[in-house]
């Protein structure tokens, strides 16, 4: 009888530690920042609850496997289904909110956010699984230490690259040539009314973003990435814009010769340093990343077969 108890104990310990680690990993990766998403409390509650469920699944999978209850693993497939649903939910919500934004996020940004939500639940499952496994197979304390390490690592994994790491961001000079608006030598748009020209020259700030490499050149060309820059600017620094003012629109155009990006921003507070800082810390969207520098002809030269 005592033997049976000690067995149950190590399982219970494993599950408890696993759930706790998974839960803390989710908490650590859930952050409300300037993007204001998830919004306070209600959005967070949803994700904390889902994180808890994910942690439970990861933690319980270990005893199930040890007991040779292999069918229990099929529940993980169910979990995957569930979390794909989370991604859809996020996408739908953000898509709906998009209509109410003066400067929309853009589909790529939304997809990136939705992907992150799904992916983070899998990280939670893995963290819970690992720590539960270690508690049951090694001992309680090693499992707890590993759990703490995992929570720390999750914090590091949370953020990806920033625009400042793949491109240089500099102030540019806005100028009008007849009806044409330029930032340095990059053409932006045609503005008809003298009134709008005056307002854009007064409130606008021109910025030139130059790609640092062949890879980042393609990332900067991506329309979703460009929209993300404009959206982040409007969120952090406000936007000098309203409905019925179609000419006051922040936008970015590309110099097709060298891949530089000319940006017109219309911040409410005209603080040049802040504008540059915000653009440097725009996240690089996963969907905008391409790696042409990984030359595909290399594979052919090696004579390797594809597939």
Partner 1 sequence: MADSNGNKILAVITEKEGQVMGGVPVFIASDAKKREDTAFLLEKILDGMVHQLNESTFVIVHHA
Task: State the nearest-atom distance from the C-beta of 108 to partner 1, in Å.
Answer: 18
CB-wise, 89 or 176, nearer to partner 1? 176
CB-wise, 9 or 245, nearer to partner 1? 245
Task: State the nearest-atom distance from the C-beta of 247 to partner 1, in Å.
Answer: 5
* Packing angle of the helix pair 272-280, 223-237 (nearest 10 deg): 140
Distance CA 9, CA 224 (A): 51
Other beta carbons less than 10 A from residue 7's beta carbon: 14
CB-wise, 165 or 180, nearer to partner 1? 180
CB-wise, 115 or 249, nearer to partner 1? 249
CB-wise, 139 or 190, nearer to partner 1? 190
Task: State the nearest-atom distance from the C-beta of 38 to partner 1, in Å.
Answer: 30
Task: State the nearest-atom distance from the C-beta of 112 to partner 1, in Å.
Answer: 23
What residue ranges bind partner 1 (CB under 8 A)?
178-179, 190-196, 243-247, 249
CB-wise, 102 or 140, nearer to partner 1? 102
Q: How far is CA 263 from the centre of its chain?
A: 22
Task: State the nearest-atom distance from the C-beta of 227 to partner 1, in Å.
Answer: 14
Q: Could you tell me whether strands 261-265 and 205-211 are parallel, antiparallel, or unpaired per DSSP bridges?
A: antiparallel
Distance CA 234, CA 224 (A): 15
Task: State the nearest-atom distance from the C-beta of 235 to partner 1, in Å.
Answer: 22
Instruction: Judge residue 2's burial from the number of C-beta atoms within 10 Å of its C-beta, 0-12 exposed, 13-18 middle, 19 or more buried.
Output: exposed
- The vertex-38 CA angle with 36 and 43, nearest 5°, equals 140
Per DSSP, helices labelled H in the chain are 2-29, 42-66, 74-98, 107-137, 140-157, 163-166, 194-203, 214-221, 223-237, 272-280, 297-302
């Amino acid at each position: 009888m005592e033997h049976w108890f000690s067995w149950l104990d190590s399982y219970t310990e494993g599950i408890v530690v696993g759930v706790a680690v998974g839960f803390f990993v989710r908490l650590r990766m859930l952050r409300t920042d300037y993007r204001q998403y998830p919004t306070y409390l209600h959005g967070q509650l949803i994700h904390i609850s889902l994180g808890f469920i994910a942690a439970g699944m990861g933690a319980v999978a270990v005893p199930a496997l040890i007991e040779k209850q292999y069918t229990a693993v099929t529940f993980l497939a169910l979990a995957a289904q569930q979390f794909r649903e989370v991604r859809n939910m996020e996408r739908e919500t953000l898509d709906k909110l998009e209509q109410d934004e003066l400067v929309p996020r853009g589909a790529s940004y939304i997809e990136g956010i939705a992907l992150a939500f799904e992916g983070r639940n899998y990280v939670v499952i893995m963290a819970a699984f690992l720590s539960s496994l270690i508690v049951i197979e090694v001992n309680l304390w090693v499992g707890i230490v590993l759990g703490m390490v995992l929570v720390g690592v999750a914090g590091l994994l949370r953020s990806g690259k920033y625009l400042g790491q793949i491109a240089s961001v500099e102030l540019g000079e806005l100028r009008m040539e007849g009806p044409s608006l330029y930032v340095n030598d990059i053409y932006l748009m045609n503005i008809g009314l003298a009134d709008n020209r005056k307002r854009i020259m007064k409130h606008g700030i021109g910025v030139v973003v130059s790609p640092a490499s062949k890879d980042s050149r393609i990332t900067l060309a991506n329309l979703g990435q460009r929209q993300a820059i404009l959206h982040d600017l409007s969120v952090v620094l406000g936007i000098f814009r309203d409905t019925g003012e179609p000419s006051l629109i922040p936008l970015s155009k590309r110099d097709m010769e060298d891949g530089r990006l000319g940006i017109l921003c219309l911040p409410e507070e005209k603080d040049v340093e802040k504008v540059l800082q915000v653009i440097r810390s725009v996240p690089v969207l996963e969907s905008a990343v391409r790696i042409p520098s990984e030359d595909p002809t290399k594979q052919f030269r090696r004579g390797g077969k594809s597939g």
